[in-house]
Amino acid sequence: MRCPYCGSLDTQVKDSRPTDDSSAIRRRRVCPDCGGRFTTFERVQLRELYVVKRSGRRVPFDRDKLERSVEVALRKRPVDPERVERMLNGIVRQLESMGDADVSSETVGELVMEGLKGLDDVAYVRFASVYKNFREAKDFEEILGHLASEEPEAEPSAPGKNPVRSE
């Protein structure tokens, strides 16, 4: 691991332990050249994945890029970071277990949309608007109509409370 301070490749691990959710290994490192101390988080990778873009271009899968795009969709939304991390880990595990090193960008996008639908409807619509390249208001209407049709039926209201009606 390269030292972030001096660039030396000869760093030493002083401590290793799993993260709280066991999705990564936290390593404390020291650089013998400059004395700098830093932490790395390392994940086990079952296989090297490549994303095949719509243009046909093949690029290495980047979990950090996936995480950033999900964070943009979830910006200012009240979602527990642990739930987001579990969703991301689940997506990566699904991709790794598909049996092929090449995964289409459409597959990644659909998995993210499926995960976001379970986390937060607003984030789901935000991500869908970019992923599906919405151009008109009717695109939003369609996805909102799709979301509304999938929501479970509301429970009957308690006596003395006004029921919420949708028309």
- What is the pLDDT at residue 45? 62
In the structure, what pLDDT confidence band is assigned to residue 163 with cuts at 50, 70 and 90?
very low
- Of 122 and 132, more confident: 122
Tokens 């090297």 correspond to 48
Percent with pLDDT over 70 in the chain = 84
Residue 164 pLDDT greater than 60, yes or no? no
Mean pLDDT of 67-88: 90
Residue 157 pLDDT greater than 70, yes or no? no
Mean of per-residue pLDDT scores for the chain: 82
CA distances from 140 to 52, 109, 144 (A): 27, 17, 6
In the structure, what pLDDT confidence band is assigned to residue 161 with cuts at 50, 70 and 90?
very low
- R_g of the chain, CA atoms, integer Å: 21
**Backbone angles phi and psi of 163, in degrees to 5:** -70, 150
In the structure, what pLDDT confidence band is assigned to residue 165 with cuts at 50, 70 and 90?
very low
In the structure, what pLDDT confidence band is assigned to residue 138 with cuts at 50, 70 and 90?
confident
Residue 167 pLDDT greater than 60, yes or no? no
Residue 39 pLDDT greater than 70, yes or no? yes
- What is the pLDDT at residue 151? 61
pTM: 0.60
- Compute the distance between CA of residue 87 and CA of residue 79 in angstroms, rounded to an integer: 12
* Residue 83, helix vs strand vs coil: helix
Encoding tokens for residue 53? 């873009």
Pick from 1-10, 77-86, 96-105, 124-133: least confident = 124-133
